[in-house]
């Protein structure tokens, strides 16, 4: 069973003793600073949140589901050092680290040579499949009951009169097609608050996987506090 930690964009797979996060976009801070937006580095905050999550769950493993870094193509030397330092610190918190490549992760194998980096098509552990979500999954993942993915940086816009608020959401969906053992797809929002969001109640994703395989309209949206907002088809604005 997969639990979402309250008020944090982190999935906890209890039977695997594993946390899952996605879309860190490490290095986006440098891009924003070039534009005159003076943001602090996010890595210390990320590590603090993950250390707290480990203490709460006693998880010994973590999966990072892609878009580890931000700049494409080719990260700067500063960004590469930043990513490596983050993972060095992360390795002191968790016994095992699994990484899937996302669409921002060119050259990630070279940057993280000391870690197991899986390709964009993902990997499986028991009945769980893990991949970023922008590429077609590895064939063995169809023999999983549950997929945990990212990529969408999922959020919804809540409006009341002239006021509006954007909230990250976890999406729980089912496949449109019957194939293998797949029963459920969990789509995590971005771990980074700086990465931006796709407002799913204003625009559905056009990626092939989300159009042809995942039943997005009938998927259920959950706020990070655990509140169920209902089916996405009923949230359109």
Q: Which residues pair with 158 in a beta bridge?
A: 165
Q: What is the pLDDT of residue 237?
A: 67
Q: What is the pLDDT of residue 75?
A: 77
Whole-angstrom distance, CA of residue 131 vs CA of residue 135: 8
Q: What is the pLDDT of residue 115?
A: 92
Residue 51 CA: distances (Å) to CA of 43, 58, 62, 141, 182: 12, 10, 11, 29, 31
Whole-angstrom distance, CA of residue 57 vs CA of residue 50: 10
Q: What is the pLDDT of residue 73?
A: 76
CATH 3.60.21 holds for 2-234: yes
How does pLDDT run along the chain (237 residues), one tens digit per residue?
899 999 999 999 999 999 999 999 999 999 999 899 999 999 999 999 999 999 999 999 999 999 999 987 777 889 999 999 999 999 999 999 999 999 999 999 999 999 999 999 999 999 999 999 999 999 999 999 999 999 999 999 988 878 889 999 999 999 999 999 999 999 999 999 999 999 999 988 988 899 999 999 999 999 999 999 999 999 876
Residue with tokens 């949230």, as numbered in its chain? 235
Residue ranges per domain, the chain?
Answer: 2-234
Whole-angstrom distance, CA of residue 112 vs CA of residue 178: 36
CB count within 10 Å of CB 38 equals 8
Whole-angstrom distance, CA of residue 203 vs CA of residue 115: 36
Judge contact between 75 and 26, C-beta under 8 A: no
């Amino acid at each position: 069973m997969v639990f979402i930690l309250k008020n944090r964009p982190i999935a906890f797979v209890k039977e695997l003793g594993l946390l899952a996060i996605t879309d860190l976009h490490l290095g986006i801070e440098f891009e924003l600073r070039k534009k005159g937006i003076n943001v602090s580095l996010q890595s210390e905050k990320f590590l603090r949140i993950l250390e707290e999550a480990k203490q709460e769950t006693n998880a010994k493993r973590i999966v990072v589901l892609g878009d580890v870094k931000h700049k494409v193509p080719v990260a700067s030397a500063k960004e590469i050092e930043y990513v490596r330092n983050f993972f060095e610190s992360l390795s002191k918190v968790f016994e095992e680290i699994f990484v899937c490549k996302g669409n921002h992760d060119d050259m990630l194998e070279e940057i993280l040579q000391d870690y197991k980096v899986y390709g964009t098509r993902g990997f499986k552990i028991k009945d769980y499949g893990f991949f970023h979500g922008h590429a077609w999954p590895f064939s063995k993942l169809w023999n999983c009951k549950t997929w945990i993915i990212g990529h969408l940086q999922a959020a919804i816009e809540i409006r009341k009169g002239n006021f509006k608020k954007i909230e990250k959401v976890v999406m729980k969906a089912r496949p449109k097609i019957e194939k293998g053992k797949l029963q459920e797809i969990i789509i995590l929002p971005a771990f980074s608050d700086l990465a931006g969001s796709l407002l799913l109640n204003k625009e559905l994703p056009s990626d092939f996987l989300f159009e042809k395989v995942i039943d997005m309209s009938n998927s259920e949206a959950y706020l990070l506090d655990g509140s169920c907002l209902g089916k996405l088809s009923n949230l359109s604005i």
